[in-house]
Amino acid sequence: MAQAEQAGFRIVAREDYSDVTYMLEVAHPLMAKAARPGQFVIVMEHEHGERIPLTIADFSRERGTITLVIQAVGKTTREMQANCKAGTTLYALVGPMGIPSHIGKAKKVVCVGGGLGVAPVYPQARAYKESGAYVIGVIGFRNRDLMFWEDKFAAVCDELIICTDDGSAGIKGLVTEGIKQALAKHSDIDEVVAIGPPIMMKGCAETTRPHGVKTIVSLNPVMVDGTGMCGGCRVKIGEQVKFACVDGPDFDGHQVDFDDLMKRLVRYKRAEHDALERWQESCRIRADTVIDLKAAVLGNEAEIPIDIQPSTDG
Ligand SMILES: Cc1cc2nc3c(=O)[nH]c(=O)nc-3n(C[C@H](O)[C@H](O)[C@H](O)COP(=O)(O)OP(=O)(O)OC[C@H]3O[C@@H](n4cnc5c(N)ncnc54)[C@H](O)[C@@H]3O)c2cc1C
Ligand code: FES
């Protein structure tokens, strides 16, 4: 595992795909060298920040970088959206974690990404293509404006099916419609890999179950330490209890107890909501402070010490 070896990890590029989805490319040559499809990192944006798991959505050994695609859903991911720019650093980055996806000898594979799940399934689609498999990509978004990486998928897929909920691009419908289309056209699909919200992965597993096609999903339970010690990421796989951070995050979708996973994911809703409110309130106070200081400076420049700046810490 490549460990943090310097004070911070430089963000070399950022791109925003929508109001809530953004990409960070982070310099870390060791991590880029060690990373395999399906693995994730644990990130702390600043010294007092929360540790959050994020999938390595891409890596370039040539550039010595890893790519993270993040959806701003709560306190930490919104704080990162506000603070992380090209040229800034992440305080800590640990990984690559988790068992790499098994890129076996499958000859025909369907790689399915729903919404943000499009990013983490990309390295698997690329790896299957490199292994010589025929790759069918199925990527789904709510609408055309939220689409990203369709060009990256087109470059590694033999066929690409785009699905949008409202029909503004590709076929109208959920990714399960795309899977059905692929299954109807190809009777020799060896494997389906599906990544996205739990309800989507559950739908994909139920779509393939009657066809008996092996279906791998990547689970995203709440993780704390990421080392198998805390038990936070416990998931039920058939009759067994597994820890997604060390036993996964990939599992057999036909064995996963998705209802249990979804119940566990909303357990901390109250605390997450409170943390977001506290952060938003502190942002508002800082913004007011800046306005007050500016007004004071404009009113009497000589009396205001020039080093008074509102803190940018969370
Ligand atoms: C293996 C793995 C890979 C992931 N990859 C990505 C990714 O590539 N991009 C991305 O945007 N998100 C990813 N996530 C989810 C991401 O970790 C959460 O969205 C993030 O932790 C939310 O933190 P928050 O403070 O912004 O929101 P909060 O308000 O704290 O939480 C919002 C929701 O995010 C989930 N969540 C909260 N804390 C954690 C945690 N410590 N671990 C896991 N889930 C949590 C819960 O479902 C929660 O309801 C991944 C999760 C896992 C387990
Ligand atoms: S995150 Fe603690 S056991 Fe997996």
Burial class (CB in 10 A: 0-12, 13-18, 19+), 79: buried
* pLDDT at site 310: 39
Q: What's the mean pLDDT in 1-11?
A: 66
Q: Please tell me the distance from the alpha carbon of residue 171 to that of residue 168, in angstroms, as a whole number.
A: 8
| CA distance to 22, 30, 78, 265, per residue, from 57 (Å) | 12, 16, 19, 22
* pLDDT at site 305: 40
Mutate to test the pocket of ligand 2, among 233, 241, 251 (most ligand atoms within 8 A of CB): 233
Q: What's the mean pLDDT in 266-281?
A: 67
**From ligand 2's centre to the CA of 293, what distance in Å?**
45
- Beta strands 191-195 and 214-218 are parallel
Start-to-end CA distance of the chain, whole Å, equals 29
Q: Determine whether the shortest distance from the Cβ of 237 to ligand 1 is under 6 A.
A: no
Mean pLDDT of the chain: 87
Q: Determine whether the shortest distance from the Cβ of 235 to ligand 1 is under 6 A.
A: no
Count of CA atoms in the C-beta half-sphere (13 A) of 100: 12
Q: What are phi and psi of 230, to 5 degrees?
A: -90, -25
Q: Render pLDDT for 19-68 as a digit per residue (tens, 0 to 9).
A: 999 999 999 999 999 999 999 999 999 999 999 999 999 999 999 999 99
Q: Please tell me the distance from the alpha carbon of residue 273 to that of residue 258, in angstroms, as a whole number.
A: 23
Q: Determine whether the shortest distance from the Cβ of 53 to ligand 1 is under 6 A.
A: yes
Q: Please tell me the distance from the alpha carbon of residue 134 to that of residue 158, in angstroms, as a whole number.
A: 6
Q: Please tell me the distance from the alpha carbon of residue 161 to that of residue 95, in angstroms, as a whole number.
A: 32
Q: Please tell me the distance from the alpha carbon of residue 238 to that of residue 242, in angstroms, as a whole number.
A: 10
The token pair at 40 is 């994730």
**From ligand 1's centre to the CA of 212, what distance in Å?**
31
Q: Please tell me the distance from the alpha carbon of residue 194 to that of residue 260, in angstroms, as a whole number.
A: 18
**What pTM was computed for the model?**
0.84
Q: Determine whether the shortest distance from the Cβ of 224 to ligand 2 is under 6 A.
A: yes
In sequence order, the 6+-apart residues with CB closer than 8 A to the CB of 87 are 10, 11
* pLDDT at site 264: 83
Among 12-26, 125-139, 200-214, 276-290, whose mean pLDDT is lowest?
276-290
Indicate if the pLDDT at residue 6 is higher than 90: no
Q: Determine whether the shortest distance from the Cβ of 225 to ligand 2 is under 6 A.
A: yes
Indicate if the pLDDT at residue 150 is higher than 60: yes
- Beta strands 171-172 and 159-164 are parallel
Closest ligand to Cα 229 = 2
Ordered alpha helix ranges (H), the chain: 29-34, 75-83, 118-130, 150-156, 175-185, 198-208, 244-247, 258-265, 269-299
Q: Determine whether the shortest distance from the Cβ of 222 to ligand 1 is under 6 A.
A: yes
Choice between 281 and 1, residue whose per-residue pLDDT is larger:
281
Q: Give the pLDDT band of residue 287 (cuts 50, 70, 90).
A: low
Partnered with residue 68 across adjacent β-strands are 24
Share of the chain above pLDDT 90, in %: 73
Q: Determine whether the shortest distance from the Cβ of 51 to ligand 2 is under 6 A.
A: no
Indicate if the pLDDT at residue 1 is higher than 70: no
Indicate if the pLDDT at residue 289 is higher than 70: no
Q: Render pLDDT for 217-273 as a digit per residue (tens, 0 to 9).
A: 999 998 988 889 988 899 999 999 999 999 999 999 999 999 999 988 777 666 666
Closest ligand to Cα 221 = 1
Indicate if the pLDDT at residue 211 is higher than 70: yes
Q: Give the pLDDT band of residue 104 (cuts 50, 70, 90).
A: confident
